[in-house]
Amino acid sequence: MSNIEIVIQPKVSDLGDNFFVRRSLPNIEKKMVGPFIFWDHMGPVELEGDKTMVVRAHPHIGLSTITWLFSGEIMHRDSLGNEQMIKPGEVNWMTAGRGIAHSERASSAGSPLMLEGIQLWLALPKEYEDIEPNFFHCKENELPLKFDQDSKLILIAGSACGMKSPVPVYSDLFYLNGDFKKDFVFDMPLPGNHEGAVYVVEGEIDVESACFERFSLVVFRKGTGLSFKVNKDSKVLIFGGAVFPERRYIWWNFVSSDREKIENAKKDWKAGRFSKVINESEVIPLPSE
């Protein structure tokens, strides 16, 4: 029996000006991988002149967001008063808890800027869904690193491969950036209640004699572990964690184990009861049902 549960090819959306976003999670057949419930690969896109990336102020509940850039930089602002630029190799970790609003903006600032990265959400365990919102920024040199002549592993969040990230997570999870040379073999056992996946950013990997290229998300069956061979020099993201016992509901930017909390968040955003984002006047209105 194969250890592969599903292979996901992302849904591609053009946000305008050829700014493409590739969404792998949630998928109609696979909503989550461990606590990971949303996975967007943005770009690559060149920002120049009037061409910018603007995500106006919008709300979240019941989740943490994390941004990991391959190139470019993004300014984060939120309703706690944080204003933080993020660059490649750094982590912006925002936990919404009972509710937060934030915005993201990127521009060329006078010279062309290539922007590419992964933006994702992690659902919070039920007991942490209503915690106070918070924000954490981590510099590149603060993240654990393992490397040799054939591999380089950066632990972005959680615990894995004998490393622990300083990012303050709320459940048992792992999120790794891997740069591997051709013929490298990666093997990572998982506990029985964990599931994991590998996402191909660049290059090509082999899983059970099947080849997977750029943008492929290979999800492994719960408890089977992650194992693949690198067919050519590749960059991958490896992630997963403990599976929650309860279902998670997702609507727009809201995640919760309780539908009523999502309905209340809708009303609060529409009525302007979320705190305002620092130095922002524009907001994204609540979508129609």
Which of 22, 78, 72 minimizes the C-alpha distance to 237? 22
So what's the pLDDT on residue 17? 59
Q: Does residue 247 have a pLDDT over 70? A: yes
Q: Does residue 194 have a pLDDT over 70? A: yes
Q: Does residue 189 have a pLDDT over 70? A: yes
CB contact at 8 A, 208 and 2: yes
Q: Does residue 203 have a pLDDT over 80? A: yes
pLDDT one-digit tens code per residue, 19-71: 789 999 999 999 999 999 999 999 898 888 777 788 899 999 999 999 999 99
| Residues 105/109/113/118 CA torsion (nearest 10 deg) | -20
User: How would residue 77 be classed by pLDDT, with cut points 50, 70 and 90?
Assistant: very high
- What percent of the chain shows pLDDT beyond 70? 98
So what's the pLDDT on residue 275? 97
pLDDT one-digit tens code per residue, 1-14: 899 999 999 999 87
So what's the pLDDT on residue 16? 61
In this prediction, residues 241-252 reach a mean pLDDT of: 97
**What residues form DSSP beta bridges with 53?**
106
Show the tokens assigned to 159. 């615990």
- Give Cβ neighbours of residue 96 (< 8 Å, ≥ 6 apart): 59, 60, 61, 62, 63, 64, 65, 133
So what's the pLDDT on residue 31? 96
Q: Does residue 104 have a pLDDT over 90? A: yes
Residues in the chain: 289
In this prediction, residues 249-268 reach a mean pLDDT of: 98
CA distances 260 to 99, 250, 284, Å, are 14, 12, 22
Q: What are the DSSP calls for the chain, one per residue?
A: --SEEEEEPPEEEE-STT-EEEEEES-SS---BTTEEEEEEEEEEEE-TT--EEEEEEEEBSEEEEEEEEES-EEEEETTS-EEEE-TT-EEEEE-TT-EEEEEEE--TTS-EEEEEEEEEEEPPGGGTTSPPEEEEE-GGGS-EEE-SSEEEEEEEEEETTEE-SS--SSSEEEEEEEE-TT-EEEE---TTEEEEEEEEEEEEEETTEEEETT-EEEEPTTS-EEEEEEEEEEEEEEEEEPPSS--EEETTEEES-HHHHHHHHHHHHTT-SPPPTT---BPPPPP-
Show the tokens assigned to 245. 């016992």
So what's the pLDDT on residue 111? 76
So what's the pLDDT on residue 288? 87
So what's the pLDDT on residue 15? 67
pLDDT one-digit tens code per residue, 133-183: 999 999 999 999 999 999 999 999 999 999 999 999 999 999 999 999 999
User: How would residue 18 be classed by pLDDT, with cut points 50, 70 and 90?
Assistant: low
Lowest mean pLDDT among 113-117, 196-200, 232-236: 113-117
So what's the pLDDT on residue 19? 74
Show the tokens assigned to 31. 């909503």
- 3-class DSSP string for 228-275: EEEEEEEEEEEEEEECCCCCCEEECCEEECCHHHHHHHHHHHHCCCCC
So what's the pLDDT on residue 128? 98
